[in-house]
Chain A
Amino acid sequence: MFELIGIPPQALFGQLLLGLINGAFYAMLSLGLAVIFGMLNVINFTHGAQYMMGAFAAWLMLGILDVPFWASLVLAPILVGLFGVVLERVMLKRIYHLDHLYGFLLTFGLALVIEGLFQWKWGSSGAPYPNPIPGGYNLGFMFMPTYRGFVVLAALVICLATWYGIERTKLGAYLRAATENPTLVRAFGINVPRLITLTYGLGVGLAALAGVLAAPIQQVSALMGTNLVLVVFAVVVIGGMGSIMGSIVTGFGLGLIEGLTKVFYPPASNTVIFVVMALVLLIKPAGLFGQTK
């Protein structure tokens, strides 16, 4: 077997795959955040809790109703997305005209409440979710668990489909236009408040979908979104607030950078993303793909 700069290939490719999987979750989550921020002007700090709710929805449906993983992949995002719609109608819509800080306080507070409730009911130790596609392939240079490969592909498809929906469809055109000038879009006869509700529901559904995909890899636990969402915010800042392609590329890219750091200098792997964030902010404050307004 060959060796690269003293690193065994199994370790290198293993960490790269792990990086790609983490990157897939960063991309899916930052995408939802970017879409929500663009339209609602609210930084959705509840995103991690909604991701967790997706995983829990799948786990509960499996345990109580014996709903299989593949059905949960569709049902859980719809359920959690509807929860998002209610949240937007009842609370978020009252704060759009206020400073960002209020949106932050509200969504952060909601995350604490939701995570607290789940912790109270189900504890924080976490529960396993059975792997829907066990097994794997020996690729020669590494072993590839099938489900993990599936997650990376699924995340790519989800990201590209979201990009297509926003950049190439009529509904996406409404969304982009309303992000720029909601007053004028409304004066053309488009029900912008409904569009905003829909956007939030879709963004939240995307977080829940990521949660369902994460369930078989991670433990399903009340706090599974808390740490992840911090990294995801760094990803959004690096990619540029509100940029769709930026979120996707930065998400996967940073997952890989994190994976490589684990190979070459493991102690820095938890901080490398924040170091990148600081550097990007110094050089390009609007983010790699962001536009200064």
Chain B
Amino acid sequence: MAETLLKVEGLQAWYGESHILHGVGFEIGRGELVTLLGRNGAGKTTTLKSVMGIVEKRTGSVTFEGKETVGQPSDSIARLGLAYCPEERGIFSSLNVEENLLLPPMVRPGGMSLGEIYQLFPNLQERRRSQGTKLSGGEQQMLAIGRILRTGANLLLLDEPTEGLAPVIVQRIGEIIRQLKGRGFTILLVEQNFHFAAAVADRHYIMEDGHVVDIMTAGDVKQNIGKLQAYLGV
């Protein structure tokens, strides 16, 4: 594995009274594409939110480039170089497409330019004056991904980017994610769609009940397909 970019150890998280994560641990090396797999309610989304610092309460350790982030507010965490694309996409309806794209501030040098992002997502350029939430589901997903590429963040946290989208769009998003990896982005991906995840990821962490219960590299998946299907209940 390459130099560690993100290291999560003993991460616990709560929403109000409910204790969701019970000591999650995993690592991502620079330039890797890692997925969190698991059934609904296993704690994948909460893990992403906890890394980003937007759960009510979290303990344990999350280090990014060696810096501890637990105890810091989410705006400071983002400024270290993490960018988050939420499951519900979070497109702002009072902003047009271009305003949505330009909203996240630069946190580091070296982000993609608006032109490069439009090259990647030509639809967004055509509709740049439309209200953000008037786009189709697929376009909104592209907008949600596109707007975090400008900031210079080098770790992208993508929460189910293929959810509810038509197969042809899912394929397109898969290509884009591979391109982003090719550009050197490190990506932590949460997915329900295992076939999609298997096609793009270097490694998979399998989660159950707020723990990481297994790790598989892309090479392991073929031999262990039965075990994986049992984990995911498919």
A183 and B49 alpha carbons, distance in the complex (Å): 11
Which of A48-56, A185-193, A221-229, A232-240 makes up part of the contact surface? A185-193
Q: Which 3 A-B pairs have the closest CB atoms?
A: A189-B78, A188-B104, A176-B94
- In the assembled complex, which residues on chain A have CB atoms less than 8 Å from the CB atom of B53? 187
Q: Which of B73, B86, B92, B99 contacts A186 (CB 8 A)?
A: B73
Report A180 CB to chain B, min CB distance, Å: 5
A192 touches B90 (CB 8 A): no
B105 touches A173 (CB 8 A): no
- In the assembled complex, which residues on chain A have CB atoms less than 8 Å from the CB atom of B93? 180
A187 and B79 alpha carbons, distance in the complex (Å): 9
Q: Which of B73, B92, B102, B105 contacts A181 (CB 8 A)?
A: B92
Count chain B residues whose beta carbon lies closer than 8 angstroms to a beta carbon of A.
Answer: 25
- In the assembled complex, which residues on chain A have CB atoms less than 8 Å from the CB atom of B78? 186-189
Interface assignment of B8: CB less than 8 Å from any CB of chain A: no
Report B153 CB to chain A, min CB distance, Å: 8
Contact residues, A148-187 vs B (CB, 8 A): 170, 173-174, 176-177, 179-181, 183-187
Q: Which of A173, A181, A185, A187 contacts B52 (CB 8 A)?
A: A187
Give 1 or 0 for each of B124-135: 1 = CB within 8 Å of chain A CB.
000000000000
- In the assembled complex, which residues on chain A have CB atoms less than 8 Å from the CB atom of B94? 176-177, 179-180
Closest to B89 in A: A184
B75 touches A189 (CB 8 A): yes
Known A-B contacts A187-B52, A188-B103; A176 and B92 likewise in contact (beta carbons under 8 Å) = yes
15 residue pairs bridging A and B, Cβ less than 8 Å apart: A173-B95, A176-B92, A176-B94, A177-B94, A180-B92, A181-B90, A186-B54, A187-B53, A187-B54, A187-B75, A187-B77, A188-B75, A188-B83, A189-B75, A189-B105
A2 and B213 alpha carbons, distance in the complex (Å): 89
Interface assignment of B140: CB less than 8 Å from any CB of chain A: no
A185 and B104 alpha carbons, distance in the complex (Å): 8
B104 touches A189 (CB 8 A): yes
B90 touches A186 (CB 8 A): no
A189 touches B79 (CB 8 A): yes
Interface of B is mostly: loop
A170 and B83 alpha carbons, distance in the complex (Å): 20
A250 and B33 alpha carbons, distance in the complex (Å): 53
- In the assembled complex, which residues on chain A have CB atoms less than 8 Å from the CB atom of B99? 173
- In the assembled complex, which residues on chain A have CB atoms less than 8 Å from the CB atom of B52? 187
- In the assembled complex, which residues on chain B have CB atoms less than 8 Å from the CB atom of A177? 92, 94-95, 103
Closest to A183 in B: B54
A215 and B148 alpha carbons, distance in the complex (Å): 49
Report B55 CB to chain A, min CB distance, Å: 10
A176 touches B107 (CB 8 A): no
- In the assembled complex, which residues on chain A have CB atoms less than 8 Å from the CB atom of B103? 173-174, 177, 185, 188
- In the assembled complex, which residues on chain A have CB atoms less than 8 Å from the CB atom of B86? 184
- In the assembled complex, which residues on chain A have CB atoms less than 8 Å from the CB atom of B95? 173, 176-177
Known contacts A170-B102, A180-B92, A186-B74; 18 additional CB pairs below 8 A are: A174-B103, A180-B93, A181-B92, A183-B54, A183-B74, A184-B86, A184-B90, A187-B75, A187-B78, A188-B104, A188-B148, A188-B151, A189-B79, A189-B105, A189-B107, A189-B151, A190-B75, A192-B75
Known A-B contacts A177-B94, A184-B90; A190 and B105 likewise in contact (beta carbons under 8 Å) = yes
A187 touches B105 (CB 8 A): no
A184 and B74 alpha carbons, distance in the complex (Å): 9
A192 and B53 alpha carbons, distance in the complex (Å): 14
